Structures are given as C-alpha cells and as structure tokens.
Amino acid sequence: MKYQTLMMLGLLQALVLPNFLHAETGAHRGDVRDVRVLRKVEQHPEAWRVWQPYIIQGERPRQLIVAYGAMTNGKKDMGDIMAVVSNNDGDTWSEPVYVFNHNVRQGAVQFAYANPVLYRVRGQKVVWCFAMRCSIQQENSEESTLVAAYTADGGSTWVPVELAMHYTGSLITNDGIIETVIGDQRRFLLPAHRNTLASDPRGSRDHFILSSSSLLEWKLEAYIPQPETARVFLHEGNLTQGDLPDELKIVMRTADYDDTALTTQPPRAYSSVSRDGGRTWSVAKEEPELHNSKAKGFFRRLANGGHLYVYNDGPPQRGIAPGFPHGGRTSLKFKVKPANGSWGEERVFYDAGIKNSYPTLIEVSPGEFRAVWDSGTERTPRTHISFGKFTLKAQ
C-alpha cells in the first residue's frame, strides 16, 4: 500500500509539474553557475527568435519572475511578451503565459510588442510589466508607444491597462524603473530613447527620462544632453543610484550617431548624472573603463554601495574598425567598482562559444544575483533564454 501511494504521488507530480525542467547547459567559462535554459524558440511556433529577458524577485524570497519576447515570424524585433515563474529560486519554471499577445486586436488595430521591463513597488504585491507597442504593419518597432500590464497573483495572469501619456512621441524601452523624489514629491523614472532618424532624415536619436507619480500617467521629465563635441547615438541606458548621496547615474549603449553600423571610436559606454532627482542631467560623457559595442549592457548599484557592469565582448562584428578587436555579441564579461573606488579588471561572466546578449540581473541578497540573457548557437542568435546564478566574490 505504501509503495502504491508513492507511485501515485510520483504520477501526480509528473502531471502537475512543468514539462521543461532543464538541466545545466554545456560547459562554459565564467563566474555564473547553474545555467539553465528557460525557453527555446522551437517552443514558440509563431516565433523565429526569443529575446531580451528581464528578471525580478517576486513577493516571496525564492520567487522569480522573468518576462521575455517571442519575435513573430516576419518581424525584425517585435512579437509577443511572455512570462515564466519560478517558486524555488530558479530550479524549475512554470509554463509561459502571455503578458501581451500580438494576436489579440485592440479594436480594428493589431499590435506587436517588444522589450519588457518589470517593476514592483516596495511593500506591494503587484508586479508591473512595461513594454513597447507598435502597429504590426510596421517593419520594425521604432515607432512604438508605451504599454503596461500588471499581475497580482505572482505572474500567473496579467491584466493590460491603458496609460495616460503626456509624452506622445515614439519610444524604445530597455531598463526598469527606479523611485526618486523631485520637488518633495515621489516620482518613478523610466529611461527610454527614440530613433526617428532611422526613417526620417529630419528625425533624431535622443535619450530621455519619463516620470510618473502613479505608474499610470507619464510625462517627459528630461533629455540626456549630447556631448559637446561629436554627437553619439545614446540608447538603451541603465539607470541606478550613483556614487554620491542623492545622485542618479545612467550608463548607455552607444553607436555612431549618423551611421549606427559603427561603434564609437574607441567602443565605449557613455554616462550622465543627475543630482536633483532626475529633473536635469549632465552632458553625456565617455566612460573610459566601460566597453560597449552597440549592445545592451547591465549597470546597477550594489547593496554594498559599489557598481556592477555586465557587457558583451567577443570577436569582431560589423562596424568594428581594425585595431578594435573586441566587439561581437558572444561572451559576456563584467567589471566591479567598489564604493568610492575604481573599476576593477575585466572578468568573464559567461562564455560558451555561442552568441549571447542583453543580460539583466537582480540582487536577491547582498552579493548574490540571479541573471537572465538571450543565447543562441555559434552562428544563430537568440534561440533560447538562459538563466544563471551569480555570486559576486570579494575584489
């Protein structure tokens, strides 16, 4: 009888538990460990890529929520936004659910979606997902507007909401929201950029900050001023607390302003700081120690007051000039800067001889991180979403 009971329990677990409990992937170099595949493009019949995951810690200590994009066949960079949940610190993951579904029309209009970012207000159960929404008739997502949904049950179901937007231009999201104070009032800041120059010779490539007091109503708070010499395509900035009290800092991906196939020379991230809660920002300047090769980096202040930068490095790719060999989206590297210190040496985060990009991390306890990024094969990008655990060792 006891044996039969155990057999029944095992059968029940097999039926109830998710059907993709992925083991650790193949051999790799780097400090990230317990690397697992959360989702493969083959599991999304309408998609030809999966990309740009974002991770957040849920209400419970061991709960993790990841949102990612499933790129619709025939589209360059938009499709559906999906979410998966782990209740055991990333060991197993649920089946994905839709946050935004491109097959669900808004009246007569069909949209596609891209670039999810997650946010949870301190002390609240509700988790928000902000993303881009673009008419599916567009070739790419450059003409997107902001859209949001929330979950109150830990990521199992998502409810879309319409936002009140005082900024009405196109935008591209990339990084999450931080809370600040402007004029003695609480504000939420969301970094974004636009690239209207891609289709309009009189357009622009600008990085800016949106602000809200409610997460429902958004306005343009500030632009990031261009360098005083040659202009730079500043985009996909990561926003966090700076070195000084009440200082905010944004570190941005870069490219040549006029020809985005080219990196800056040398390939460097640029930064800007605000000392009034995000209302005004300093002129963007080069970060001499922070490499960038036209790929999203991850920049965040640590619990101990230092900073972490995770970025792409690898073989040359299109736009990398001779003499600047580190460029492609293969290996992921990282640097650490202690509080009030200098950036340390480059170290390997993840290198498996395959394509990797768009890392996002969450510090679940001091020095302990959970990470996601999109991965591919040696030749094909964004075939699966990767997850790993990362401990920041003493410098």
Question: What does the pLDDT profile of the chain (395 residues) look like in tens digits?
Answer: 433 443 343 333 333 333 344 445 668 999 999 999 999 999 999 999 999 999 999 988 899 999 999 999 999 999 999 999 999 999 999 999 999 999 999 889 999 999 999 999 988 999 999 999 999 999 899 999 999 999 999 999 999 999 999 999 999 999 999 999 999 999 999 999 999 999 899 999 999 999 999 999 999 999 999 998 899 999 999 999 999 989 999 999 999 999 998 899 999 999 999 999 999 999 999 999 999 989 999 999 999 999 999 999 865 555 555 555 555 788 999 999 999 899 999 999 999 999 999 999 999 999 999 999 999 999 899 999 999 999 997 65
Report the predicted TM-score, pTM, of the whole model to 2 decimal places: 0.91
Model pLDDT, residue 326? 52
Q: Which two tokens stand for residue 35?
A: 């690397």
> Is 14 contained in some domain?
no
Model pLDDT, residue 10? 39
> Is 65 contained in some domain?
yes
- Looking at the structure of the chain, the number of domains it has is 1
> Is 290 contained in some domain?
yes
Model pLDDT, residue 7? 36
> Is 17 contained in some domain?
no
- Structural element, H or E, at residue 230: none
CA 326 to each of CA 17, 28, 264, 268, 345: distance values in angstroms, whole numbers, following the listed order = 43, 19, 13, 11, 15
> Is 6 contained in some domain?
no
Model pLDDT, residue 340? 87
Instruction: List, as one string, the DSSP characters of 65-122.
Output: EEEEEEEETT-SS-EEEEEEEESSTTSS-PPPEEEE-TTS-BTTB-EEEEEEEEEE-T
- Residue 135 CB: number of other CB atoms within 10 A? 14
With b meaning 16 or more CB within 10 Å and e meaning fewer, what string describes 352-361?
bebbbbbbbb
Which amino acid is located at 164 in the chain? A
> Is 244 contained in some domain?
yes
Model pLDDT, residue 1? 41
> Is 3 contained in some domain?
no
CA 68 to each of CA 50, 261, 303, 385: distance values in angstroms, whole numbers, following the listed order = 7, 25, 26, 8
Domain membership of residue 345 as a residue range: 22-391
> Is 16 contained in some domain?
no
CA 200 to each of CA 142, 155, 170, 254, 258: distance values in angstroms, whole numbers, following the listed order = 11, 39, 13, 20, 12
Domain with residue 205: its CATH number is 2.120.10.10
